[in-house]
Structure 1
Amino acid sequence: MFRTALRNVLSHKARLLMTVLAVMLGVAFVSGTLVFTNTISQALQKSSAKGFDHVDVSIGPGYRPNEGESVTEQPKLTPEVLKKVESAPGAESAIGVVSGFTALADRNGKLIGGGFQSQGGNFWGKDDPRYPIRDGGRAPRGENEIAIDSQTAKRAGYKVGDTVRMSVDGPVLTPTVTGIFTTDDGNVAAGGSLALFDTATAQKLFHTEGEYDEIAVTAAAGTSQTQLRKAIDRILPEDTAVTTTGRQLADEQATQIAAEMSGLKNALLVFAGIALFVGTFIIANTFTMLVAQRTKELALLRAVGASRRQVTRSVLIEAFVVGMVAAVTGLAAGVGIGAGMRALIGTLGETVPEGPLVVSPGTVATALLVGVLITMVAAWLPGRRAARIPPVAAMSSVHAQATTKSLVVRNTIGALFSGAGVATVLYATTMDGSDGQAPMGFGAVLLIVGVFVLTPLLSRPLIAAAAPLMRVFGISGKLARQNSVRNPRRTAATASALMIGLTLITGMTVMAGSLQQSIARMAADAIKADYVVSMANGNMLSPDVEKKLAGTEGVTAVSPLRNAESRIGDETEYLTGVNGSAIGKLTDFPIDDGTFKIGGSDVVVDADTADRRGWKAGSEFTAAFQGGEKQRLTVAGVYESNELIRGILLDNATLTERLPAAADPADMMVMVKTSAGASDATKDRLEKALGENPAIKVQSGQDLSADIARMFTLMLNMLYGLLAMAVIVAVLGVINTLAMSVFERSQEIGMLRAIGLDRRGIKRMVRLESLVISLFGGVLGIGLGVFFGWAAGELIASRMPTYELVVPWARMAVFLLLAATVGILAALWPARRAAKLNMLAAIKSE
């Protein structure tokens, strides 16, 4: 039986090619994902570990819990703490580290480093061991000097002596580059930028004058990191600082990188799983047809003594061989995909650390296991069917068709699964947000399985609906329609592969379109400001930005949004300071209770906070600010918030004078109203007033919507690209089904040729059959996708009041056209093969 199975594999090489391709694509995607993410993760981990070569112990500021109703001032790392650390037994040297966001512009005025990766720090003394200066440069001294990393200098074309444009929290600075340094900083290796100032300048720019963000200590020879840490802990007062060894920092960084990469890895593996899931239908379909074609052979094997178990085993051996070949070729292709993805990131302008391509034993084992297991599981059911073939079937060339009982059982199971799936999804839509995610996911799986089981039943009426259109093509159209419903199970398995891909694509398109419009409304609703000004990386703005905007020609109202931590009762609550006299001109929030009045001790509170705390118009409460000062505040009104503005709003004058003297006020954003309204000229005027700063975004409502649209378009394009794998596998399934169907119907095609149907008619018949099957899968997929998109939207709507379902009918039409294109392309080779059949040889074939 083993030799028989191998002979069958070798004798059906052409028939099994599509199955091998389907499995190979899925395995290649899985292994490519693992190779890519492992390679990037290991390179980043090694790079980040190098960044801690000069740190044996890191000291960070301690933490004191808030006491009672007051906000406790937290410990700081001062020069006094640094001196104590330098005198610790076993300490060779100590460096006070200062860091913060620093936006550097290239020669075209564009931001380097992608905003969030744009960092700044301090150069310690004349020779900082962390940052070796090269190319004859020197350390920066004073406010007008800066040193930049070599990668940034190379990308932007800067050299020693050049003037650069930069910003920390708003105002534009133009220091001179005095040095270019090399660094193993993982942020730079990942494509970011690093700018260094002398320590005093860095402290001033990052609002940490007289203190450090971290102290990095190097151990003397013969002192371990653990010994040095214990010595430092003994000389520092409790709660003053938190100490960590350099090895711990490297391990934590590696764990963080692995966690970040796992998100990307899991996302890519989900799409690989979808491709494999679709491929399972193709494998099952292929083996079903192979078994049907070998009915006489298998029945004769039974007649000469082969047991059912042996017959099943022979089919599974075939599947094992096919799966192993597909897994090995898929693994090889996956290594190439992983290398290609890393190279692609480089061409897109992203920087990744150098390192070898990582093909771990786990990746190899996963690829082989997935390929073989998927193929054998998919072939198991056809194998069982093969074992049930009675020996008497050897007397007939065609095995008995499915019984009425089996069809009734199948349809009953499909109806139960579909009903349970729909009921579960509908129940999930009544739940709140994240609580409904698991039930909805479970219901979606039940419904997809149920529809798949019911697909043979659904195929007849849906394909029959295409009869009027098929009549246009004469006898070829009639034959194509009849052929497509001749074997409903095969048609169902072929269409289901395409159905799953289009279900996901459609559902995601509906959700993305609805979210895009809803978020755009959320950002614009209740905001009357012409422009919103913010930092490119989401950091805080300097108060100077508001002053410059207020003094700009044509500006009629300005209000910053300023955050401050406070204690109200036993809970921490963040207060948002606004310009009380101008905020009414910039916003138009619906008022649930009282009036929208801000000034002095009068505040307004959003409805969620009011409900949580039991407040209403006229309620009074005491807020304790950082530093211990308290203020009695009165709720003047309760308003309906949006995602841009929420919480407790009070006047900035009240907020700022309650902050500690050492605390520098900073703004989340600034809203601006102008006399001329939003226009290109007005925007240019505002940007010029801010020094054309690359770190600051000046956005109108239209700009916000465009940003949101760009984000969702990018996300959708990525999803379409990933789901294209499932569609490609579905195309292979259609080709496979048609090719084997043509082989099965060789005698019939020969007869049609003999009675007058020309080659063109034969080609048209096969193409129309493929078109009908593909459109059938497309209609099911689009229908399910719209349903899932609506259901997921209901969950989102429970937490997003502005959510509104948007069905992109134009894209739905494109998806249906895509399904038709899949059908036409998939039929090219099978149609040509059918037309080339020798009619006499085909008539004589069995």
Structure 2
Amino acid sequence: MLRTTLKNLLARKLRLLLSALAVVAGVSFVTGTLVLTDTLNQTFDTLFANATKNVSVAVRTINAVDDSSAGNSPSRPLPSSLLDVVKGVPGVRAAVGDVDGTAVFVNPRTGKVLDTGGAPGIGTNWDGGTAVSAVEIAAGRAPHGQEFVIDKSSADKADLLIGDRVTVLTKGAPAAYTLVGTFRLAGQDSVGGATVIAFDTATAQRVLLAPDEFTSIRIAAVDGLSQTDLRDRISGVLPAGVEAITGKQLADENANAVQKAIGGFSTFLLIFAGISVFVGAFIIFNTFTMLVAQRVRELALLRALGASRRQVQLAVQLEAGVVGFVGATVGLVFGAGLAVLLRLAVAAFGVSLPGGGLVFRPRTIIVAYAVGVVVTAVAAFIPARKAASVPPVAAMRESFVLPARSLRSRGIAGGALAGIGALLLVYGLAAVTGKSGAAVVGIGAGLCFLGIATLSPLLARPITRFIGSPLPVLFGATGRLGRENAMRNPRRSASTASALMIGLALVSAFAVLGASIKDSVKETVSNSLGADFYLAGSGFGQGFSPDIAQSLRGKPGIELVTGLRSDVAQIKGKKGTILAGDPVALPQLLALRQVNGDIAKLGNGTIIMDSDTVTADGFVVGQPVPVVFPDGPTTLTLAGTYKKSQVAGKYLVALSEFSRHYNSDLDIFVMVRIASNANIADVRKEIDSVAKAYPNVQVRDQSEFVRQQEKQVDQFLGLVYVLLALAVVIALFGIVNTLALSVIERTREIGLLRAVGMSRRQLRTMVRLEAVVIAVFGALLGVVVGSFFGWALTRALKDQGINTFAYPLWTVVFVVIMGGLLGVLAAIFPARRAAKMDILRAIATT
């Protein structure tokens, strides 16, 4: 049986090729994602380990809200006097104070800030040549006074030359500095794509932090003293609220923070890889179902010669296993290439990564073969059982056809699967958060797709009849035959269409979600914001100087101005984001609607909250509210409550109160309202004149702000559509595969059609029309299912600010049209093959 199975595979190489391609595509996506993730993790692990290799202990303030992030964003700075205390501890060989903040430069050749693709702009003090340092000058020298050095990668990107006079933007007013050198960190030109600017320590303290203050202190131990021993010695001399950690712990924390971000990106990619594998399973199932139907007499003959049912089933399963193994092997190789392309794509967004080869872990190889072989074997299980169930004597009759299961049982099973899937989907989206919620949503969506795919044969005949009704009118007998071929085997047509349905359903769902987000943004800006102009940093999440908001106050025609800052605090045991701004302007510019108390009393020692949160947490206006800030617990008085606002969030404090507890003194946003009698064009000129000195800040009016938010939504949807394109391509393979096998199955019929006068052109048209009907059927199923998914997503995200449901009708129509065009594309190869058949040989085929 093994020899027979292998010969069958070799005899049907072309028939199984497209099935293998479906496996290759899915496995490549999974493998490429895992390889990229492992490569990035190892790269940053090595970078941080090398960057801290000379650090034995680090001293920092304790973050009372989140210990895991304390090393990355300490709550308060350290006094410079603590450096002398640390230096006096026995076992300390060297100690250096660090100054960290935000700094970006204006390219003197373009007048713009360098685009880092979302990576931060970091300002620090130069510590090269010290015992704890891992930086080295690449060209030039160390900075002094009004000078700076920059990482070599950023200098190369911006074509900066030593001696250039460059404007650097920090928390104060813009200032010009002279570039005197470039540097490498731990032998790398780039620090993970970030721009790193270093000043001498006094200058860094003045422009990034404050005189006589450090962000942290790094210490090197004398030879022979362990990191833990030195840490324990230093801990004994530190004041309350300050801690010492080992250099290894510091490196691990930094690496873990990066790995967490990479993990989110990896999960995002793996979701789409899973979708591709799921679609591929439909293709494999359909292919083996057709192959079994075409080989029924051959399999019956094997049974008649003594093969048992088990042997026949194992033979078909073995064929599937070989296809999966070959597909997984090729996919593993292609996955490495995909990882390289993904890495280049990351670099194309401006994120320069440290050098290093690809990392292939054993886990990746195991997962690749598990996905390829297991998915293929599972998809072929039902066709294999059907092949083994055929009675040998009955099957050898020329007119024998494999019996089909009742559509009634399919209807019951499909309805149950779809119903359970829909319930899980809605529950997962609405009630569960975190990884468990994502798992529930994924299971629910998968069951929905399986349910619809199971139900689709019940819908295939009437819907394909309706879709194909214009064809006899437009193409005559050729059109009628194309429609009848699509209707002939509803199970086959439905299975083929289901693969396309999955991809287009997800496209439709995200289109609905995107349209709803855009409408919600418009409604929010109109009803939940009271500003006329919005100023935001050009980089993602990048803060900018508070001097901008200060300079705008009192300008002619400007009534209210506030800068916005936010960070995390803990209230009643729960972490939440606190928003801060000018206590007078903030409630008005956020268009808050007061419920209880007096929100105008926002100021030092007070907090205002949304009424739903106050009710849920059991607070009362005038009552003390215990709040844990990064620098420790405190108590604020609840001054008032406001109606729930998606923009304001749950908690608001005055900017002065915020500054007492956080080390951040950069605005992330500025909102401006003009006076009622002011000319908006004149005010715009005033704002532009202030912002001109800060190229890292963009000014937008209401309409421009809405368009910018819509652009971001479109960019995200574009990425999603690109990732879903692989699933659609796999579905395209499925249509090609089905039509190719269908042509082989109908060889004699095609020969007879040619014999009675059908031309090659008419035959090609017939096959294309059949493909179009099947593809449009899948597209229609997809937009119906996708519309439901989009509605469910919109309802589930209502609390996140998506409070408007919008249906993108023309996008959905475009998806259906694209389905038809994909059908035409998929039919090219099968139609040409059918048209090239020799008439006499085709008629003689049995």
Displacement, 1:186?
A: 8.1
CA–CA separation in structure 2 for the residues paired with 1:77 and 1:712 = 41
Displacement, 1:498?
A: 0.4
Greater shift in the superposed pair: 574-583 or 528-537: 574-583
2:783 matches 1:782: yes
User: Which residue number corresponds to residue 817 of structure 2?
Assistant: 817
Q: 2:141 aligns with which of 137, 151, 161?
A: 137
User: Which residue number corresponds to residue 411 of structure 1?
Assistant: 411
CA–CA separation in structure 1 for the residues paired with 2:371 and 2:212 = 59
User: Which residue number corresponds to residue 161 of structure 1?
Assistant: 163
Say whether the 8 Å CA contact 2:471–2:479 is kept in structure 1.
Answer: yes
User: Which residue number corresponds to residue 47 of structure 2?
Assistant: 47
User: Which residue number corresponds to residue 70 of structure 1?
Assistant: none
Q: Which amino acid aligns with 1:22?
A: A
Q: Write out per-residue CA displacement over residues 714-739 of structure 1, whole angstroms, 9 at most, x where no aligned residue.
A: 21111111111111111111111111
CA–CA separation in structure 1 for the residues paired with 2:632 and 2:54 = 39
**What does 1:188-203 align with in structure 2 at a 5 Å threshold?**
188-203=190-205
| Distance change (3 Å), C-alpha of 1:35 and 1:630 | closer
User: Which residue number corresponds to residue 827 of structure 1?
Assistant: 827
User: Which residue number corresponds to residue 297 of structure 1?
Assistant: 298
Q: Which amino acid aligns with 1:154?
A: D
Greater shift in the superposed pair: 659-668 or 272-281: 659-668
**What does 1:84-103 align with in structure 2 at a 5 Å threshold?**
84-103=85-104
CA–CA separation in structure 2 for the residues paired with 1:333 and 1:787 = 35
SS of the equivalent of 1:121 reads strand
| Distance change (3 Å), C-alpha of 1:720 and 1:59 | same
Q: Which amino acid aligns with 2:182?
A: I
Q: Write out per-residue CA displacement over residues 224-264 of structure 1, whole angstroms, 9 at most, x where no aligned residue.
A: 32332233234x14635322222222233333333332222
CA–CA separation in structure 2 for the residues paired with 1:379 and 1:460 = 25
2:559 matches 1:556: yes
Structure 2 unaligned regions, length at least 5: 67-73
CA–CA separation in structure 2 for the residues paired with 1:414 and 1:173 = 68
Q: Which amino acid aligns with 1:135?
A: A
Greater shift in the superposed pair: 283-292 or 524-533: 524-533
Displacement, 1:827?
A: 0.6
CA–CA separation in structure 2 for the residues paired with 1:566 and 1:643 = 18
SS of the equivalent of 2:815 reads helix
Q: 2:216 aligns with which of 214, 217, 228?
A: 214
Q: Write out per-residue CA displacement over residues 248-285 of structure 1, whole angstroms, 9 at most, x where no aligned residue.
A: 22233333333332222222122122111111111111
Q: Write out per-residue CA displacement over residues 800-824 of structure 1, whole angstroms, 9 at most, x where no aligned residue.
A: 4651111111111111111101110
CA–CA separation in structure 1 for the residues paired with 2:607 and 2:543 = 23
CA–CA separation in structure 1 for the residues paired with 2:572 and 2:366 = 57
Q: Which amino acid aligns with 1:546?
A: A
Displacement, 1:424?
A: 5.0
Say whether the 8 Å CA contact 1:498–1:730 is kept in structure 2.
Answer: yes
2:354 matches 1:353: yes
CA–CA separation in structure 2 for the residues paired with 1:74 and 1:793 = 37
CA–CA separation in structure 2 for the residues paired with 1:662 and 1:835 = 74
**What does 1:711-730 align with in structure 2 at a 5 Å threshold?**
711-730=712-731
Displacement, 1:589?
A: 3.2
Displacement, 1:62?
A: 4.0
User: Which residue number corresponds to residue 71 of structure 2?
Assistant: none
User: Which residue number corresponds to residue 26 of structure 2?
Assistant: 26
| Distance change (3 Å), C-alpha of 1:825 and 1:698 | same
Q: Write out per-residue CA displacement over residues 564-592 of structure 1, whole angstroms, 9 at most, x where no aligned residue.
A: 99999999999866556656764543344
Q: 1:546 aligns with which of 546, 549, 562?
A: 549
| Distance change (3 Å), C-alpha of 1:369 and 1:544 | closer
User: Which residue number corresponds to residue 173 of structure 1?
Assistant: 175
User: Which residue number corresponds to residue 69 of structure 2?
Assistant: none
Say whether the 8 Å CA contact 1:170–1:693 is kept in structure 2.
Answer: no
Greater shift in the superposed pair: 692-701 or 678-687: 678-687
Structure 1 unaligned regions, length at least 5: 67-72
2:126 matches 1:123: yes
User: Which residue number corresponds to residue 37 of structure 1?
Assistant: 37
| Distance change (3 Å), C-alpha of 1:681 and 1:300 | farther
**What does 1:243-282 align with in structure 2 at a 5 Å threshold?**
243-282=244-283
Aligned pairs, how many?
Answer: 830
Say whether the 8 Å CA contact 2:39–2:357 is kept in structure 1.
Answer: yes
**What does 1:662-741 align with in structure 2 at a 5 Å threshold?**
669-674=669-674, 682-741=683-742
SS of the equivalent of 1:376 reads helix
CA–CA separation in structure 1 for the residues paired with 2:336 and 2:438 = 35
| Distance change (3 Å), C-alpha of 1:779 and 1:607 | same
Say whether the 8 Å CA contact 2:293–2:402 is kept in structure 1.
Answer: no
Q: Which amino acid aligns with 1:183?
A: L
SS of the equivalent of 2:506 reads helix
2:37 matches 1:9: no
2:642 matches 1:639: yes
CA–CA separation in structure 2 for the residues paired with 1:737 and 1:633 = 69
User: Which residue number corresponds to residue 70 of structure 2?
Assistant: none
Q: How much is the aligned-residue C-alpha RMSD, in angstroms?
A: 3.6
Say whether the 8 Å CA contact 2:188–2:355 is kept in structure 1.
Answer: no
CA–CA separation in structure 2 for the residues paired with 1:573 and 1:831 = 60
Displacement, 1:431?
A: 5.1
CA–CA separation in structure 2 for the residues paired with 1:238 and 1:555 = 46
SS of the equivalent of 1:507 reads helix
| Distance change (3 Å), C-alpha of 1:681 and 1:839 | farther
CA–CA separation in structure 2 for the residues paired with 1:624 and 1:758 = 82
Displacement, 1:670?
A: 3.2
| Distance change (3 Å), C-alpha of 1:25 and 1:558 | closer
Say whether the 8 Å CA contact 2:143–2:181 is kept in structure 1.
Answer: yes
Displacement, 1:557?
A: 3.0
| Distance change (3 Å), C-alpha of 1:96 and 1:522 | same
Displacement, 1:746?
A: 0.9
Q: Write out per-residue CA displacement over residues 615-655 of structure 1, whole angstroms, 9 at most, x where no aligned residue.
A: 678x56689999999999684x6432433335566777xx5
CA–CA separation in structure 2 for the residues paired with 1:427 and 1:210 = 54
Q: Which amino acid aligns with 1:117?
A: P
SS of the equivalent of 2:165 reads coil
Greater shift in the superposed pair: 806-815 or 506-515: 506-515
SS of the equivalent of 1:688 reads helix
Displacement, 1:546?
A: 2.8
Displacement, 1:778?
A: 0.6
CA–CA separation in structure 1 for the residues paired with 2:128 and 2:336 = 47
Q: Write out per-residue CA displacement over residues 272-313 of structure 1, whole angstroms, 9 at most, x where no aligned residue.
A: 221111111111111111111111111111111111111111
2:286 matches 1:285: yes
SS of the equivalent of 1:694 reads coil
Q: Which amino acid aligns with 1:447?
A: C
Displacement, 1:316?
A: 1.7
Q: Write out per-residue CA displacement over residues 530-574 of structure 1, whole angstroms, 9 at most, x where no aligned residue.
A: 113344554665553333112434433323457799999999999
SS of the equivalent of 1:174 reads strand
| Distance change (3 Å), C-alpha of 1:756 and 1:392 | same
| Distance change (3 Å), C-alpha of 1:584 and 1:438 | closer
User: Which residue number corresponds to residue 743 of structure 2?
Assistant: 742
| Distance change (3 Å), C-alpha of 1:425 and 1:342 | closer
Say whether the 8 Å CA contact 1:564–1:574 is kept in structure 2.
Answer: yes
User: Which residue number corresponds to residue 307 of structure 1?
Assistant: 308
CA–CA separation in structure 2 for the residues paired with 1:285 and 1:306 = 25
Displacement, 1:367?
A: 1.8
Displacement, 1:6?
A: 0.6
Displacement, 1:743?
A: 0.8
Displacement, 1:423?
A: 5.0
Q: Which amino acid aligns with 1:710?
A: K
Displacement, 1:764?
A: 1.4
SS of the equivalent of 1:165 reads strand
Q: Which amino acid aligns with 2:552?
A: L
SS of the equivalent of 1:806 reads coil
CA–CA separation in structure 2 for the residues paired with 1:360 and 1:436 = 29
SS of the equivalent of 1:135 reads strand
Displacement, 1:172?
A: 1.2
Say whether the 8 Å CA contact 1:32–1:336 is kept in structure 2.
Answer: yes
User: Which residue number corresponds to residue 769 of structure 1?
Assistant: 770
SS of the equivalent of 1:490 reads helix
User: Which residue number corresponds to residue 612 of structure 2?
Assistant: 608
Q: Write out per-residue CA displacement over residues 40-91 of structure 1, whole angstroms, 9 at most, x where no aligned residue.
A: 222222122211123121111246799xxxxxx9886333322222222222
User: Which residue number corresponds to residue 59 of structure 2?
Assistant: 59
Displacement, 1:713?
A: 1.3
Say whether the 8 Å CA contact 2:691–2:698 is kept in structure 1.
Answer: no
Say whether the 8 Å CA contact 1:562–1:668 is kept in structure 2.
Answer: yes
Say whether the 8 Å CA contact 1:505–1:785 is kept in structure 2.
Answer: yes
Say whether the 8 Å CA contact 2:282–2:379 is kept in structure 1.
Answer: yes
